């Protein structure tokens, strides 16, 4: 099986079955009298509890910035998902491929491997996320042409240039959907004196979040037309009602927020992503840079779904930008393809 162990979501792919599980990376634990932790809920159920738990229950997100922050909870989460996928309690010892950020340290690699082994894996292979994303997007990674992938997840943004089944250049920045949620939360707190929770901030981002405003009169940026159709079918709401606690009176209240405000609040994160892409283009060898002009840049990950991000990147880089069909599952689909092709696994796995 292949696992995309993400900061926001964990996806599981089983050979011959495809993607069998896609759940938030959240675990709810209850503290017992002895001070030990007992897992109450994992995934969607646990996410519903975020910010709504009593004192003895804690909803934890064990992954931070794409790597393991809480070892025990990650292990419990993996064990739960492995059991859920196999639908039986018997000793299942699957061979697992896990995708990890490209800038990961040796200690972090060991943590991922040990967590998976403790959760019942027979063998654990690690694949870099941008490489898995490129395979999932169907790019010709084994050929001597370059493919550029930008994978924007919950905790990290990975930019990589890939050629001949190897990573020519990779940069991982700890900026992603979570940092955007935090920025929205802080902006509303500062500007409107309203305190909202993480889940509300995420809902604001997915409903009216946008990276670039292009008035309809303007022509779309080169290379961005076809890819933007899918997202832009539904018109953006002009405003959104949010509920939170007024910091001055302490009483809950409702407030209207506009897409412009959201765009303004996440400017710093968007700029960091654009800057990372530009640095990657500067560091790319000239022959491979020439290929990128023809092939363009592929966006994957949940962050690729942010409205106008492709148009902004097209404007800033003057290159064709495309978004993969199912951005959220591109990485795990790529890891799944590697499962089916062991020769490819030998080439792309992290030693």
Domains and CATH numbers, the chain: 2-25+61-136+330-348 (3.30.420.40), 147-175+269-328 (3.30.420.40), 177-219+229-267 (3.90.640.10)
Q: Which strands make up the sheet holding 27-31, listed edge to edge?
A: 37-42, 27-31, 57-60
Whether residue 10 is predicted with pLDDT greater than 80 in this model: the reply is yes
**How many other CB atoms are found less than 10 A from the CB of residue 35?**
6
- 176 annotated to bind ligand: no
H or E stretch covering 19: strand 18-24
- 230 annotated to bind ligand: no
Nearest Cα neighbor of 10 from 95, 89, 68 is 68
Q: How far apart are CA 235 and CA 348, in angstroms?
A: 41
If pLDDT is split at 50, 70 and 90, which confidence band does 104 have? confident
- 136 annotated to bind ligand: no
Strand partners, 169: 161
- 7 annotated to bind ligand: yes
H or E stretch covering 171: strand 166-173
Which pLDDT does position 293 carry in this prediction?
92
- 303 annotated to bind ligand: yes
- 250 annotated to bind ligand: no
**How many other CB atoms are found less than 10 A from the CB of residue 241?**
9
Higher pLDDT, 223 or 128: 128
- 200 annotated to bind ligand: no
Question: CB-based contacts of 276: which residues, under 8 Å, 6+ apart?
Answer: 157, 159, 171, 173, 175
The C-alpha angle 303, 301, 225, rounded to 5 degrees, equals 70
Provide the greatest CA pair distance for the chain.
65
3-class secondary-structure state, position 196: coil
If pLDDT is split at 50, 70 and 90, which confidence band does 160 have? very high
Q: How much of the chain is helix, strand and coil, in % rounded to 5?
A: 40, 25, 30
Whether residue 225 is predicted with pLDDT greater than 60 in this model: the reply is no
Q: How far apart are CA 279 and CA 173, in angstroms?
A: 12
3-class secondary-structure state, position 338: helix
Cβ 324 vs Cβ 175: under 8 Å: no
Q: How far apart are CA 4 and CA 136, in angstroms?
A: 12
Q: Of how many residues is the chain composed?
A: 351
Q: How far apart are CA 133 and CA 151, in angstroms?
A: 7
- 204 annotated to bind ligand: yes
Cβ 27 vs Cβ 35: under 8 Å: no
- 302 annotated to bind ligand: yes
If pLDDT is split at 50, 70 and 90, which confidence band does 227 have? very low
Q: Which two tokens stand for residue 49?
A: 């509890």
Residue-wise pLDDT for 170-220, tens only, equals: 998 999 999 999 999 999 999 999 999 988 999 999 999 899 876 654 444
Rounded average pLDDT over 126-146:
91
Which pLDDT does position 230 carry in this prediction?
43
Q: Which two tokens stand for residue 153?
A: 């997840």
- 218 annotated to bind ligand: no
H or E stretch covering 180: helix 177-192
Cβ 12 vs Cβ 338: under 8 Å: no
- 154 annotated to bind ligand: yes
- 244 annotated to bind ligand: no
- 105 annotated to bind ligand: no
- 120 annotated to bind ligand: no
Higher pLDDT, 89 or 330: 330
**How many other CB atoms are found less than 10 A from the CB of residue 114?**
16
Higher pLDDT, 81 or 224: 81
Nearest Cα neighbor of 100 from 148, 160, 143 is 160
Mean pLDDT of the chain: 87
Cβ 321 vs Cβ 328: under 8 Å: no
């Amino acid at each position: 099986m292949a696992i995309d162990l993400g900061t926001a979501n964990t996806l599981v792919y089983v050979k011959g079955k495809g993607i069998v599980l896609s759940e938030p990376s959240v675990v709810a634990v209850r503290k017992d009298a002895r001070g030990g932790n007992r897992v109450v809920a994992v995934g969607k159920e646990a996410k519903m509890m975020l910010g709504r738990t009593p004192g003895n229950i804690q909803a934890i997100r064990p992954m931070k910035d794409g790597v393991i922050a809480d070892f025990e909870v990650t292990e419990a989460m993996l064990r739960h998902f492995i059991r859920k996928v196999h639908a039986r309690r018997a000793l299942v010892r699957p061979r697992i491929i896990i995708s990890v950020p490209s800038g990961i340290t040796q200690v972090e690699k060991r943590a991922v491997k040990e967590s998976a082994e403790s959760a019942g894996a027979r063998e654990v292979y690690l694949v870099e996320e941008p490489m898995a994303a490129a395979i999932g997007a169907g790019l010709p990674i084994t050929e001597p042409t370059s493919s550029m992938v930008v994978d924007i997840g919950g905790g990290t943004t990975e930019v990589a240039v890939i050629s001949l089944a190897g990573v020519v250049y990779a940069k991982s920045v700890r900026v992603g959907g979570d940092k955007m949620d935090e920025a929205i939360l802080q902006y509303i707190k500062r500007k409107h004196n309203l305190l909202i929770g993480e889940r509300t901030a995420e809902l604001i981002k997915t409903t009216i979040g946008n990276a670039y405003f292009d008035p309809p009169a303007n022509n779309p940026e080169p290379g961005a037309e076809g890819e933007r159709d899918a997202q832009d079918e539904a018109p953006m709401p002009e405003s959104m009602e949010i509920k939170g606690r007024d910091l001055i009176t302490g009483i809950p209240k409702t407030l209207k927020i506009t897409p412009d405000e959201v765009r303004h609040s996440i400017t710093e994160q968007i700029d960091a992503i654009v800057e990372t892409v530009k640095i990657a283009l500067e560091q790319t060898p000239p022959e491979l840079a020439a290929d990128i002009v023809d092939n363009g840049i592929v966006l994957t990950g949940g962050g690729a779904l942010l409205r106008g991000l492709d148009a902004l990147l097209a404007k800033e880089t003057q290159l064709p930008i495309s978004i993969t069909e199912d951005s959220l599952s591109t990485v795990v689909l790529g890891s799944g393809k590697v499962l089916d092709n062991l020769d490819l696994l030998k080439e792309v796995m992290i030693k």
